[in-house]
Amino acid sequence: MKKQIAAINIRQLLILIAILVGSVFIGLAVGPVSNAGRELILRIRLPRVLMAAIVGGGLACAGAVFQGILKNPLADPFIIGTSSGAALGIALGTIAGKAIQPYTSYIGGIAGAFVVTLAVYRIARIRRHAPVETLILAGVIMSSFVSAMTMLVMSLFRREASEVYFFLMGTLQPYGRGVITITFIFVVIGALVSWFFARELNILSQGEETALHLGIEVEKVRRILFFSASMVVGSVVAASGMIGFVGLIIPHIVRLLTGPDHRTLIPNSILAGATLLILCDTLARTIARPVEIPVGIVTALCGAPFFVYLLLKRKRG
C-alpha cells in the first residue's frame, strides 16, 4: 500500500478533488426547482448527487480495471457480460419479488454479475490459464447470450418486464433506504481492492509473460480483480440501471491527462467519473424541466465530444 500512496501526485489529486467538490456544489445548487428550500436540497438533491458520485466513481474504477486486465482499450464494465449478468439477475429478482425492490435488485444484480463473470472465466480457462484473447471472446459471447436470456425472460413476463426495462434505462434518484450506503460500501471495497493491486495491474498491462517473469501470480490477481470489479458493477447496476459511457471513457480521459500508471489512474478515474456523472445528471434533471432525460443519453452526448477533443489535442500537441 505504501508504494501506491507514494506514487500519488498530490497536486493532481487535490485538483481533481477540488473539481469534484465544485461539481457537488453545482449539483446541489442547480436543479429543476430554482428556489429550492433546505429540506428539498438535503433530502432530495443531496442523495441524488451522492448516488451519482458513487455510481460514476464505481463505473470509472471498474472500467479502468477491465481495460487494464484485458489490455483492451474498448473494455468497459459492459464488455465481459458483467452488467448483462447484473441485468438478468435484476430481471429475475423482479419477477420473483413481483416488483423492483432494493433487496431483490441487489441480490439479483450482484449474483448475476458474479455468476456470469465466473462462467466467462471458466469458459476461457485452458489448463489453469485464461489468456486475454479467450477471456474477451468468452465475455463477448457470454454477454450476448445473457442478453438474449434477459430478452427471453422479459418477453415471457411482460408485466414485470416493462418495469425492468425502464429501470435499466438508468435513473439516479435513490429509491429505497440504504441504497446509497450499500452501493457505497461495495464500491469502496472494490475500489480499495483494485487500488491495492494497482502495481500488478501495471505489470499485467505490459503482457502476461512479463508479469509471470516478474513473479506475479497472474491468474490469482486477475481473478481477484475480476470479481471485485464485478461486485462494483453489480451493485451499481442494481442501484441505478445501465448507465453507459462513464466506464469506457473516463479511464481514457484520465490516462490522456495524468498518465497510464494504475496507482494514479484508479483514484483519478474514480474522482473524474464521480464528477462527470454529477454534472451529467444535473443536466439531465434541468435541461428540459419538468421532464427528465435519461442520464445515459447525457453521458454519451457530453462524454464523446470531450473525448474526441482530447484525442485531437494530443494529435496536434
The binding site for other proteins (CB under 8 A) comprises 31-33, 36, 39-40, 43-45, 47, 98-101, 155, 158-159, 162-163, 166-167, 169-171, 173-177, 179, 241, 285, 288-294
Cell of 8: 500519488
Minimal distance, residue 90 CB to other proteins, in Å? 11
CA 209, chain centre distance (Å): 29
Could you give the residue ranges of the DSSP H alpha helices within 71-125?
82-97, 102-124
Are residues 51 and 240 in contact, defined by beta-carbon separation less than 8 angstroms? Answer: yes
Minimal distance, residue 167 CB to other proteins, in Å? 5
Toward other proteins, which CB reaches closer, 3 or 158? 158
Toward other proteins, which CB reaches closer, 44 or 140? 44
Please name the residues in contact with 5: beta carbons below 8 A apart, sequence gap of 6 or more: none
- Spatial separation of the C-alpha atoms in residues 316 and 109, rounded to whole Å: 43
Toward other proteins, which CB reaches closer, 107 or 203? 107
Minimal distance, residue 170 CB to other proteins, in Å? 8
| Nearest Cα to Cα of residue 188 among 149, 130, 236 | 236
Dihedral (C-alpha) 113, 164, 291, 299: value to the nearest 10 degrees? 20
Toward other proteins, which CB reaches closer, 140 or 169? 169
Dihedral (C-alpha) 222, 224, 227, 233: value to the nearest 10 degrees? -80
Please name the residues in contact with 173: beta carbons below 8 A apart, sequence gap of 6 or more: 44, 47, 48, 51
Minimal distance, residue 178 CB to other proteins, in Å? 9
Toward other proteins, which CB reaches closer, 48 or 262? 48
- Spatial separation of the C-alpha atoms in residues 144 and 124, rounded to whole Å: 16
- Spatial separation of the C-alpha atoms in residues 307 and 309, rounded to whole Å: 5
Cell of 59: 463505473
Toward other proteins, which CB reaches closer, 160 or 200? 160
3-state secondary structure at position 103: helix
Minimal distance, residue 149 CB to other proteins, in Å? 17
Toward other proteins, which CB reaches closer, 115 or 179? 179
Toward other proteins, which CB reaches closer, 157 or 307? 157
Toward other proteins, which CB reaches closer, 9 or 173? 173
3-state secondary structure at position 126: strand
Minimal distance, residue 111 CB to other proteins, in Å? 20
Minimal distance, residue 286 CB to other proteins, in Å? 9
Minimal distance, residue 155 CB to other proteins, in Å? 6
Are residues 163 and 100 in contact, defined by beta-carbon separation less than 8 angstroms? Answer: yes
Minimal distance, residue 154 CB to other proteins, in Å? 10
- Spatial separation of the C-alpha atoms in residues 303 and 139, rounded to whole Å: 25
